Structure 1
């Protein structure tokens, strides 16, 4: 291939301050702040950018074009994949193939979720099976978790342990919305009110406001920049069908991401045990167990014991969600998926604000069926 020497790397990874409510901010303002922060960190300016994938708030259709025009970029490549691992892989492919040289990925949210007595708006789209029956995101994800726990006779405390680890990571992180809200035990998780069996309140993601952005460039370009580049080693992406219209039973969604993980490790030339840190999208606690089984770290049904006894804590062999994730750090709609990548980059650079994994050189980032492997 003529562009095979154009290795894609991440040179900027930035989160704005996160909060339950950011007074006076909008989805556009926090997204713009994240873009500025990521470009400044990379030592680049708007004039260097020729690729964009930007999602302010819930503007899935026009966000990138609106931002590109407003930023004064005459012409630009447009990415279309969802924030997080999928958009990183798409941008890396565009750079590697010579379509563009510097790509900004960003998303942010503020001022959308004003009714704190209800679930977030992105979890209740206007589908016929939601508005009349109430099949919202917590209930959807609870279906497969409950079926799995029944099938393998899982002690609820073992699932609650996952949430306690993530929330304790956030409690130690000064950048997390719920900094200082801990420590938690599995019993504390099960003691919170039931939302959708088997999930209790503290098993579930929170909501927040803020922005997140990434900048990718070629490794050659990165040599002149003031930051340590993080390599995009491999990845994969897969989905299973339309949400909210077909039941996400365990048999249907339990192995989501398995083939994507196989491809990612093959592309990267890595073994499973080469990964040092796992930044996994933690929308609900059992999903972490599902990831480790789907990605072939253990056999199906063995996940609850595999992650037990400190294995997924900082200092354990498979440290997860080290900033506190959606449960404790922040959940700003789609931009949280970018935050998984940002935290992985910070871990590999040794610049995280808390819970630094010693000598981390390789990270796995996953959001449902989207996976990317990063390394230094």
Structure 2
């Protein structure tokens, strides 16, 4: 018995293992894309219908739905899902910035674990909205109009990281080269074109050392997953070999920081550590990691914080090919936010869909070999975080 298996045996009373465990049984996507006139209902229903087909389930078997969205408006889910049929299911809308879809997935997991439902949908859908943030309506005067803007914040964090680690701007830009390359192999990605290091560095500068191709685009799209309790798998006649099990779901928010930018990194570290502990594995056992890389520096910071490499090793881990598909742990095999895109609502659920394809061995053209353990990690505006650990069914 492996160490991870022994640890899991000792924590079998974990809430996430109740009701026979939680399994991803169906996934669906609408490709991420730049803003169009396509109605959000078409985006979302494309993903939901694909997930139903993938799972082999009927719409009237779904008992509850959680809808992650950040920019569309009130009652997004009910307006969209009624086109599949008015079955009376419960519909809950979830908004938590970039992590909206991730939190919708967590709520679906909790409903299954409590035994309230056996079949739950988590769907994320968004179109590019006005981007208004609650922080701009708090009634307080700001000392700076730019200090809390994400590009400025992460550009300053990048300068600190590169100085303290002795890394170069080119080593940071290599994150974007890798992720654009992965996205070029992903039919659901917003960017489908590989980029060279020279192209990444020569693209227009956004702020500091961050260029356009080192920053996530905004757009639209949808992602959906169907979750089923372990107790219902056999009754529903589902193929257990294609199921992916959820072993951990951990969420948190930032604490007071001691240095500029430290809160976000510490938030990633603490949530990822708690998720690995809940799953009973070490971070170094992860084969796949999908994380928030809205800016290239984040991947270097977070691979260290999560623990797949040692502190100070992020740039070298990438340079050695350890985070490539086929390396020690494929980081953002989907293309990440930089390459796949970041529509907000769908992003976290899209991570789950990518991990499910990989763990099933169905990620044609970008398959990471022998993948067994994976983590999906998201942050929302640097102040909330959420981590999920999944594995092949065993």
* TM norm structure 2: 0.82
Q: Check if 1:367 corresponds to 2:357.
A: no
Match for 1:121 among 128, 131, 135? 131
Distance verdict in 2 for CA 1:195–1:322, change over 3 Å: same
Match for 2:55 among 42, 60, 80? 42
Partner-residue secondary structure (3-state), 1:205 = coil
Tell me by how many angstroms 1:18 deviates.
Answer: 3.2
Distance 1:59 1:273 in 2: 38
Return 5+ residue gaps in structure 1 as ranges: 114-119
- Please give the residue correspondences for 1:19-98 in structure 2 after superposition, counting only pairs within 5 Å: 19-22=33-36, 24-56=37-69, 58-59=71-72, 61-67=74-80, 71-76=85-90, 78=92, 80=94, 82-98=99-115
Match for 1:133 among 141, 145, 166? 145
Matching residue of 2:9:
none
- Please give the residue correspondences for 1:312-331 in structure 2 after superposition, counting only pairs within 5 Å: 312-331=323-342
Partner-residue secondary structure (3-state), 1:256 = helix
Matching residue of 2:190:
177
Q: CA RMSD in A?
A: 3.0
Return 5+ residue gaps in structure 2 as ranges: 1-12, 380-384
- Please give the residue correspondences for 1:340-355 in structure 2 after superposition, counting only pairs within 5 Å: 340-355=351-366
Task: Output one character per residue of 1:174-203: Cα deviation in whole Å (capped at 9) or x when no partner.
Answer: 443322x22422x33222221011211111
Give the count of matched residue pairs. Answer: 363
Tell me by how many angstroms 1:137 deviates.
Answer: 2.7
Matching residue of 2:7:
none
Native 8 Å contact 1:6 1:98 kept in 2: no
* TM norm structure 1: 0.86
Tell me by how many angstroms 1:66 deviates.
Answer: 4.4
Native 8 Å contact 1:19 1:210 kept in 2: yes
Distance verdict in 2 for CA 1:101–1:60, change over 3 Å: farther
Native 8 Å contact 1:147 1:249 kept in 2: no
Distance verdict in 2 for CA 1:4–1:177, change over 3 Å: closer
Native 8 Å contact 2:68 2:124 kept in 1: yes
Q: Check if 1:149 corresponds to 2:162.
A: yes
Q: Which is further off, 150-159 or 193-202?
A: 150-159
Native 8 Å contact 1:4 1:97 kept in 2: yes
Task: Output one character per residue of 1:235-284: Cα deviation in whole Å (capped at 9) or x when no partner.
Answer: 32122179xxx999222222222222222112111122221111222211
Q: Check if 1:160 corresponds to 2:173.
A: yes
Tell me by how many angstroms 1:56 deviates.
Answer: 4.8
Q: Which is further off, 287-296 or 142-151?
A: 142-151
Match for 2:123 among 90, 106, 109? 106
